[in-house]
């Protein structure tokens, strides 16, 4: 199958590309390298350095004629979206719209959209949140992802393209960028390994659902290969507080840093955890990596990179 991956040089996208290549698919990557890294690119994939908002995207679709598009390219920093909602919407709404226009024009069969379970639901009424939970985003990022889902639904109705929205929990793992993204795991690990003091926002009792990147890869492959459409949560259903996360990372890094708390961040969710029962039942997907093992593997990766 010919698969086009937008954001294929990024943290999650590059892991998906590696796995698709391994499975024998013909893979095309579109990435503007604004946050993706050239070193993450798989040599077996054809690479186009192109922005998803660009008119040049048409040429990629015309040349390559993909069967499936996995759309991961995004402005993914919640805080940046609050500071600059316009930029966030340009990338996440207009960029997605550009992708969708090309998919319909060039007869793409299916689009799998990387959405956000954490940001779309906002402050939850139910824990863990199922896909039917009300969507009340607290950030422009969450709004832009929800808007992307709505556009996909529109194109499914009028353009006949099959659409899957994958709402991710807090994804972590090797290749996560401690600088560019709001990835608390990567930020804490880098600081702990450098013997710098990480600062926990607020009281640290805010919880997140941490899902390992390889489990997210499996979810993408599961929905890509089946005649399935709709919206699926991709998470573990387990809440972990930032304080507990910090303690596990201190153990795995052997750091002597103590817990230090700073002011709470404005607009940060108190609790976020999602229910992936639907994906489990319909496609037999199961998160395989325990948090402790996943964090251990991530620490090893950072040690190698820094070594």
Distances (CA, A) of 281 to 59, 82, 276, 277, 278: 39, 36, 9, 6, 5
Alpha helices (H) in the chain, listed in sequence order: 11-22, 57-64, 78-83, 85-89, 95-105, 117-121, 140-159, 184-193, 213-225, 242-253, 277-283, 291-306
The reported pLDDT for the residue numbered 179 is 82
pTM of the model: 0.97
Q: Distance between CA atoms of 277 and 260, rounded to whole angstroms?
A: 36
48: annotated active-site residue: no
The reported pLDDT for the residue numbered 182 is 63
- Altogether, the residues listed in the chain come to a count of 307
Residue reference for tokens 């890869």: 217
Mean pLDDT per 10-residue segment, the chain (307 residues)? 98 98 98 97 98 98 98 93 96 98 98 96 96 96 98 96 97 90 88 96 97 98 94 98 98 97 87 98 98 98 93
Contact 229, 164 (CB under 8 A): yes
The reported pLDDT for the residue numbered 301 is 98
Q: Among 75, 81, 71, which Cα is nearest to 110's? A: 71
Peptide bond into 136 cis (omega under 30): no
The b-or-e profile of 46-69 (16+ CB within 10 A means b, else e) is ebbebbbbeeebeebbeebebebb
The reported pLDDT for the residue numbered 180 is 59
Q: Among 171, 127, 172, 138, which Cα is nearest to 275's? A: 127
Q: Distance between CA atoms of 241 and 219, rounded to whole angstroms?
A: 24
34: Cβ–Cβ under 8 A, 6 or more apart, which residues? Answer: 51
The reported pLDDT for the residue numbered 257 is 96
Contact 17, 8 (CB under 8 A): yes
The reported pLDDT for the residue numbered 46 is 98
Contact 188, 249 (CB under 8 A): yes
The reported pLDDT for the residue numbered 134 is 98
Q: Distance between CA atoms of 198 and 243, rounded to whole angstroms?
A: 11
Catalytic residue among 121, 141, 168, 172: 141
The reported pLDDT for the residue numbered 307 is 79
Contact 148, 113 (CB under 8 A): yes
Contact 10, 70 (CB under 8 A): no
What are the structural domains, with CATH classification, of the chain? 2-171+211-235 (3.40.50.720), 172-207+239-275+289-306 (3.90.25.10)
**Tokens encoding 250:** 């201190």
From the CB of residue 227, how many other CB atoms can be counted at a distance below 10 Å?
7
Q: Among 96, 94, 220, 108, which Cα is nearest to 162's? A: 108
């Amino acid at each position: 199958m010919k698969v086009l991956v937008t954001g294929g040089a990024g943290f999650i996208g590059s892991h998906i590309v590696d796995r698709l290549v391994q499975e024998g698919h013909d893979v095309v990557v579109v990435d503007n390298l604004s946050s993706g890294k050239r070193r993450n690119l798989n040599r077996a994939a054809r690479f186009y350095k192109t922005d998803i908002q660009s008119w040049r995207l048409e040429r990629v679709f015309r040349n390559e004629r993909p069967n499936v598009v996995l759309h991961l390219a995004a402005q993914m920093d919640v805080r940046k979206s609050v500071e600059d909602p316009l930029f966030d919407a340009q990338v996440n709404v207009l960029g997605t719209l550009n992708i969708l226009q090309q998919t319909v024009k060039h007869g793409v069969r299916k689009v799998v959209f990387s959405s956000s379970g954490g940001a779309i639901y906002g402050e939850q009424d139910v824990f863990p949140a199922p896909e039917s939970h009300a969507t009340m985003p607290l950030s422009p990022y969450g709004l832009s992802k929800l808007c992307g889902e709505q556009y996909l639904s529109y194109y499914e109705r009028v353009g006949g393209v099959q659409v899957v929205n994958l709402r991710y929990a807090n994804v972590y793992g090797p290749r996560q960028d401690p600088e560019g993204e709001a990835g608390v795991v990567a930020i804490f690990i880098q600081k702990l390994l450098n013997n710098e003091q990480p600062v926990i926002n607020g009281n640290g009792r805010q919880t997140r659902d941490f899902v390992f990147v390889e489990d997210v890869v499996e979810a993408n492959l599961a929905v890509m290969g089946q005649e399935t459409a709709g919206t699926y949560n991709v998470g573990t259903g387990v809440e972990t507080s930032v304080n507990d996360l910090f303690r596990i990372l201190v153990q795995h890094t052997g750091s002597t840093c103590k817990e230090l708390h700073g002011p709470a961040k404005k607009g940060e969710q108190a609790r976020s955890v999602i229910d992936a029962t639907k994906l489990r039942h319909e496609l037999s997907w199961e998160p395989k990596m325990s948090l402790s093992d996943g964090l251990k593997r991530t620490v090893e990766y950072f040690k190698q990179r820094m070594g």
